[in-house]
Chains A and B, each alone.
Chain A
Amino acid sequence: MGLECCKVGGIMLVVTILISSLPASAIPRAVKIICTDSEGKALCEALVLVYNLKGELVFEGLTRENGSIVIKLNEGNYTIHVIWLNTLVGSKDIYVSKEPLIVLINCSVYYLKVIVNFLYLIPSRNVDIVVRNTSSGHVVKVVPKPLEIPYRLYSLSAEAILKLPRGEYEVVVRGINLQTKRIALRKSTTVLFTQVYSIESITIFILLMVAVTTCLSFIFLGKLKIQKLKEY
């Protein structure tokens, strides 16, 4: 019994000595990377790439819904790159020490709000939105119809909110006709398309015009008739 205790004690001693003699860099440390957009909101499903000093890729993964990702890195220097829609939107050099590390990366991702209201007034819901990066020529985002009409007390508009990296874009809105606008995205911006119409917006517009015209004609004709009767 005494001999067995000595054996176990000896093994534990050897293991403890081995662990303590390991270099600190060989023990992975938890690093939490939090990616946010320009407005400080979580950037989910952004591609995070971590490179070591030699430029080798040591980690690759997507951020979660809360914009964070937890990875384990050995002690040392690293470079983190955040990619959003195939564009580098943020990077940071970090040093991983013995302490747990939280890295906050504010990425240059901005909000582009596209409003499609025919003649500023009638939402054109059944339109497609295509966003093309003018420098690369690639289609960055396609928003299929129908667009959302968010609830507001005082306005009615068909909208799409896109999260895009900083850059120059061409936004094409296609309903029955087509309208294009070029924008340089340097901050969160709203673009208003007022000439695109869809079947429902043009129908509503025509009917609205009919209602306004008939109302005005009715008042004008009615007043005229009453005036004539008074004169008579």
Chain B
Amino acid sequence: MVFIEFEAKSTIIHRLNPVAKLVWFGSIVILLTLYLEPQPLLIIFLLELFVGTLARVPWRKLLARAWWAFLLSVFGGYTYSLWINKPSQFWRIPPELGCRTILVLTPKETPLIGYTAVTVGGLLWGTAVTLKVFIGVIAASILTFTTPVSDLALIWIKFLPYKLSFICTTGIRFYPVMIEKIQEIMAAAKSRGWDMSSKNPIKRIRATFPIVIPASREAILLADKMALAMEAKAFGVRKPTVLKTIKFTWNDVLFIIFSISLTTVLFLMWWFYGFGML
């Protein structure tokens, strides 16, 4: 999912090689899978904000487009954290601290949901999950904001069959286009009195028809035009010529070393000290 599209800017992050940016993104993804506790995630979050500032990411635009993801993560994370209240769920945090109850919501015998409570451990876990989504969304946005899809395609063209890589590239490239088209269709429908404010789910589903049908038509038309253009360019006859080559500068090397060394530090701290374990 692309929250903010690529904008050509003269920042040090924009000028980086796509491999360097992918290594940075990969390290963040690896680290996100490790942690269940907010301390290291806060460090990663701050570093990510720093990289985002260097890349001059439009934070307001990102917030305007991804607010629902942030809100969903806060809601989902803290809701699920109500079940984080058993000593067996804590590895590093002393169980007496993790299970310290702030507020009991439902008692142990409650059917279906069982015992739910706001605990210290649960709050830590909820914060960690929320931060993970924040970091993931921001990292992906920094990557898409600073790297054109054609540059990313240059990388996966090396590993994937070229037809598959073309499908992936097209999917990512046309996602924002389709979003814009849907927004246009919605604006046009609204001007004709289209309303989706009904609380009845069946009415709501029916109300989406005036949007879904023209949007599907637009998608099919777009795909048709695309197929025509590809045919005109003889796509599939032989492997296409790569127009750009990936070159490494000192800055790319430094950024890759920085990403790898920091990931290794945080991984070793997790491994030896349990840093980031719940």
Q: Which residues of A contact B (CB under 8 A)?
A: 123, 125, 149, 151, 153, 156, 200, 203-204, 207-208, 210-211, 214-215, 217-219, 221-223, 225-226, 229-230
Q: Which residue of B lies closest to A203 (CB)?
A: B268
Cβ A151 vs Cβ B10 within 8 A: no
Could you list 23 examples of A-B contacts with CB < 8 Å?
A125-B273, A149-B274, A151-B93, A151-B94, A151-B97, A153-B39, A203-B268, A204-B268, A204-B272, A207-B262, A207-B265, A208-B265, A210-B261, A211-B262, A215-B254, A218-B251, A218-B254, A219-B12, A221-B254, A226-B10, A226-B12, A226-B15, A230-B10
Is B261 in contact with A214, judged by CB distance below 8 angstroms? yes
Complex contact A204–B251 (CB within 8 A)? no
Given contacts A217-B254, A229-B10, contact A207 B272 (CB under 8 A): no
Determine how close the nearest CB of chain A comes to the CB of B166; give it in whole angstroms: 32
Give Cα distance in the complex from A211 to B24, angstroms: 13
Cα(A134)–Cα(B209), bound, Å: 87
Interface residue SS majority, chain A = helix
Q: Which 9 A-B pairs have the closest CB atoms?
A: A222-B12, A218-B254, A214-B258, A211-B261, A211-B262, A210-B261, A200-B272, A214-B257, A207-B265
| Band of interface residues on B | 20 to 34
Which single residue of chain B is at the shortest CB-CB distance from A223?
B12
With both chains docked as a complex, state the minimum distance between the C-beta of B15 and any C-beta of chain A, in angstroms. Answer: 7
Of all chain B residues, the one with the shortest Cβ separation from A218 is B254
Q: Specify which of B92, B255, B265 is in contact with A151 (CB 8 Å cutoff).
A: B92
State which residues 257-277 of B face A: CB under 8 Å: 257-258, 261-262, 264-265, 268-269, 272-275
Q: How far is the CA of A211 from the CA of B43 in the complex (A)?
A: 14
Decide: A210 and B12 in contact? CB cutoff 8 A: no
